[in-house]
Structure 1
Amino acid sequence: MGSSPRGILLNRDNSLLFVNNALEGSLSIIETRNLTVVDKLPISDFKLSVDTIVAAQLFYGASDPRMSFGSWLSCANCHFDGMSDGRVWQGMVDGPRNTPVLYNLLETPPYNWSGNWDELADAEIKIRHLQGGTGLIADQTLSPALGSPHAGLSLDLDSLTAYIATFTGPTQLPVKDAALVKHGADIFGQQNCASCHAGAAGTDLKSHDVGTGTSPNEKAGAAFDTPTLRWLWSSAPYFHDGSAATLRDVFTMPGAHQLIGKISLEDIDALTAYLLSLPQQ
């Protein structure tokens, strides 16, 4: 098989499987009765830069021992094309963590729910500690988060972080009820949500204790990085630990976001409709 197999198709009698290898512009032909690759054909004129190809292969692949132990995990397993897998992972160093989207990351530092990465190159920490890779930086002595920069220490790491920074969010869904969204925007203003969720990205780039970090499983304190409000329709569940399955839950659960009893459920539903409309075109 080739690099980043994405599309598969069986022939009419199911004897052959065709696999599109997205990161090398080739087609693998596999004989299904013995799962043998019988041919590989070029199907496109690949014109991406070498740096982009290398970075994409690092992001989507798990065969490089620098990125993963035993070829078991890649960045794309949780963040395919920069998306969230919608899961909450229990075995993270800082405690249970909801997978975030990776869109427009250069606009929203710091990184991690705990806000303890000040650069995208701190992904080297996760490559080693979570994915079990040996790392892209040749020096085995790793700087701690918020310590000396990792950027500039490895061409491949720099290429990977530059590639991650290219992920942009999907086209927003059409607004079904403009009046409801407008009402929700008014509620957003009245409740002073923009005191933390400020600007176009919907974040003040700071950490706050909003009452969701009370579990003994939390290992990095009770303050969490303010998440962006963009693309919430594609990133459920919510909060650092995924404890809110829906946006309505965000505003009915105990904590700083609780609005039940302060405003009506109709107003809460309008607010969620507004949030699900972001970013507006």
Structure 2
Amino acid sequence: MGKISVAGVIVIAKVALIFLAALSVVLLILYSGLRHRSRLARRRRQGRKVGWGKIPLSSIYEISPHFERNERGPLASTEVRHIANDNTPGGVSDYESWILCNLAKRAKSIFEFGTATGKTTYLLGANSPTETTVYTLTLALTEHASYQHASGDARGDFANAIKESKFDQFVYSGTTIARKVVQLYGDSKTFPYHTYYDCMDLIFIDGSHARSYIESDSKNALAMLRAGGYILWHDYRGPDVTPGVFEALNLLSDNMPLIQIRGTCLVLYQKPLDA
């Protein structure tokens, strides 16, 4: 082999330095991304355990007398029919689902904002009394263009809402629970709710996470809620993950007693019996 000239060595050294510099940049970007994800994960865990500071945090056992436990854990009276969350699109955690299913046991009329796969719809129907009706609202596949993005809504909220509205068959479809379900279609900002005013015992808000939709859905839910009934909002995950939910519920908490359920991203409101 021939000898490499001094000029050749210099070129090789420059190429190596450029490669090392580029590799350093890539590694720095990857490291920054991992740190950011780790920070978000820590904040989410912190938010579920100690809250976000604005809305008070309480155990479900302190909130509702229908949840009981002893040193061995929850009592058998809290048993529910259940389907695990195995990466279910738009799904809630198993613990959150257990809470919703127990609240459904005493509800005669239930309204759900955001059907998604229909898994939660199915569970609400499966764990509620025989005479219960579950109303669930989603955008039809042909109505995606009617989504009303507002200034101030996070950019990703539209894409997430459309992604969770892509189903035309649901978990409850073809089951014995289907007879208890009334599937409604439309944009939740413009849907005519007046038929359901003051009729609902349990309302679950898990549609679009955009602030304008949370504000609109909350207003309509409050109009539909019967005295003594519950509203639960999902995805109160803090300002980094769901800023629209976070901002809207924090603002709403200035005017009504909202509670974040410990260990979840659920926020709960119960309408007074004398309201």
Which structure has greater strand proportion? 2
Which structure has greater helix proportion? 2
Taking CA–CA contacts closer than 8 Å with sequence separation of 6 or more, which of the two structures ends up with the larger relative contact order? 2
TM-score w.r.t. the length of structure 2 is 0.25
TM-score w.r.t. the length of structure 1 is 0.25
